[in-house]
Amino acid sequence: MATGTDAIIFKALTDRLKTITPALQIAGPNVTFPAAGQTLPTKYLAVSFLPNQTRQITMGDDPQQKRGLLQVSLVVKAGVGILNALETVELVIDLFKNRTLFAAGVRITISSEPWAASPLQEPGRVQIPISIPYSAFEPEV
């Protein structure tokens, strides 16, 4: 069970990502992907968690604002075109657009509409990064 604010935020955001339909495998940070004995899927999501500087809203020990990005990259095999990939990117964006999540006393707001960057061509694959901005307040203790 996650207890630190950043851990709670990361878990809530990735739990939301896991609800994407159709389901896609997710490569999380610091996790071997694919799992031993598995082959690399031709289409998957790669996640990076990018917390930003905590913002002090009030004086004293009041809860502070956490801000950052969940960076989700759609990774597809090169040479299969971009149309299907762009459709999947829209599914990810729609999954988080205008969304507020609640987890372990933390309210996590998607602070603006997620956006996709230009596709990045790499040897054998194409990545399309999607930035999902969030803000949250530490739970009161």
The pLDDT of residue 54: 79
The pLDDT of residue 4: 87
What is the domain partition of the chain in residue ranges?
Answer: 5-26+50-137
Residue 15 confidence (pLDDT) above 80? yes
pTM of the model as a whole: 0.90
Does domain 5-26+50-137 match CATH 3.30.2000.20?
yes
Residue 141 confidence (pLDDT) above 60? no
pLDDT tens digits for range 58-77 = 666 666 789 999 999 999 99
Residue 98's alpha-carbon distances to 5, 20, 49, 111, 120, in angstroms, are 21, 16, 20, 8, 27
**pLDDT tier at 118, thresholds 50, 70, 90:** very high
